[in-house]
Amino acid sequence: MRFAAYEHRQRRRVAVVEEDGTLFPLPGVTSLAALLAETNGLPGLLDAGAAALDVPPGPHVSQVRLLPPLHPTSIRDFVTFEEHVEGVRRAVDGVSGVPEQWYAAPTFYFTNPHAVYGPDDAVPVPPGSAVLDFELEVGAVIGLEGRDLTPERARDHIVGYTVFNDWSARDLQSAEMKVGLGPCKGKDTATTLGPYLVTADELDPCRDSEGFLRLALTAEINGETVGEDLLSNMSWTFEEMTAYASRGTRVVPGDVLGSGTCGNGGCLAELWGLRGERTPPPLKPGDTVSLTVEGLGTLTNTVVAGVDPVPLPAGRRRTRERP
């Protein structure tokens, strides 16, 4: 099943999306994250969707404003594509190769769940940035709470998938990561999810023998293809990522786990690192980015001008007096 969150006639609803685009609203449901918290993983979500199909249909998807399919409780963004690591490391840090430590575990960082945009939303340039980039990813959505999961058990905790665009201010990212803490304001302004949540069972036929999803990924800027890859080029499965995320803590319904950016042009920085120049150039207001994932749909957003940064003083150099 495909689920959408949408706004129509000033009301927000959640619906099952049929193949022809007809929406079947779930009675009384206005938040997919809240529904996931109430249902028992994928079986409960499928039961709720089946019940919606027994009531009269709502509007067509073309008649509504699509919203992010859910507002996540948290967003962990992984980095699981070796080719991406190699290219971006050269572009951002000026060094080549993949760190040996990268192979030890599926590394992730937490990004901002309060800056989530939906399909066709305008995405502002982050304050103070002149080097904006997109990142083509897939997000796995958790539908069942778990802790210290094995990869085998983790499969039951993933309820579905959505297209994920991790917008990145590369100039801010490069500067702040010199402190040694990882990205913050370089990734803080926008993450786009959508257009739908596609339930995990829909993608089971696409699994290879190792459990990877063999889905085609395509990135376009202003209608021109700049990147193509396969989701199965990940170095860890979503189940392995979920198990790692749950190690010593919890994953809960509504959590989103990003795959990390695919290779072969899944973002501009990778291309810059490989080519030694910023070609194509950084995104600017008016540029439209469309990310397509086989089986999940196309996620399109247009960049708009952002606001100027509020000025702050530099850190004070202290005398380090003691009481």
Which tens digits make up the pLDDT trace of 126-169? 999 999 999 999 999 999 999 999 999 999 999 999 999 999 99
Q: Give the mean pLDDT of 223-227.
A: 98
Find all residues with CB under 8 Å of 141, minimum gap 6, and list them: 36, 69, 70, 72, 158, 159, 160, 161, 162, 197, 254, 255, 256
Q: Interhelix angle for 82-92 vs 268-275, to 10°? A: 70
| Angle at the Cα of 225 from the Cα atoms of 195 and 185, rounded to 5 degrees | 60
Q: Give the model's confidence band at 292: pLDDT under 50 very low, under 70 low, under 90 confident, else very high.
A: very high
Instruction: Please give the pLDDT value at position 183.
Output: 86
Instruction: Please give the pLDDT value at position 30.
Output: 96
Beta bridge partners, 303, equal 123
Instruction: Say what the pTM is.
Output: 0.97
E strand or H helix at 258 = strand 256-258
Instruction: Please give the pLDDT value at position 97.
Output: 86
Mean per-residue pLDDT of the chain: 96
**What topology is assigned to 75-304 in CATH?**
Fumarylacetoacetate hydrolase; domain 2 (3.90.850)
- pLDDT tens string 106-117: 999 999 999 999
Structure tokens at 2: 């495909």
Q: Are strands 297-304 and 158-166 parallel, antiparallel or unpaired?
A: unpaired
Beta bridge partners, 135, equal 267
Instruction: Please give the pLDDT value at position 153.
Output: 98
- pLDDT tens string 166-192: 999 999 998 988 888 878 899 999 999
Structure tokens at 195: 């257009």
Is the pLDDT assigned to residue 89 strictly greater than 90? no
Instruction: Please give the pLDDT value at position 105.
Output: 97
Q: Are 213 and 201 in contact (CB under 8 A)?
A: no
Find all residues with CB under 8 Å of 287, minimum gap 6, and list them: 221, 222, 302, 303
Instruction: Please give the pLDDT value at position 90.
Output: 80
Buried b / exposed e across 5-25, counting CB within 10 Å, b at 16+? bbeeeeeebbbbbeeeeebbb
The residue type found at 175 is: A
Give CA–CA dist 144/210, Å, rounded: 23
Alpha helix stretches (DSSP H) within 133-265: 151-154, 170-176, 200-203, 238-245
Instruction: Please give the pLDDT value at position 181.
Output: 84
Domain range annotation of the chain:
2-67, 75-304
Instruction: Please give the pLDDT value at position 52.
Output: 97
How many other CB atoms sit within 10 Å of the CB of residue 92?
A: 21
Kindly report which listed range (75-79, 175-179, 230-234, 291-295) carries the lowest average pLDDT score: 175-179
**Reduced to 3 states, what is the DSSP secondary structure of residue 176?**
helix
- pLDDT tens string 91-107: 777 777 899 999 999 99
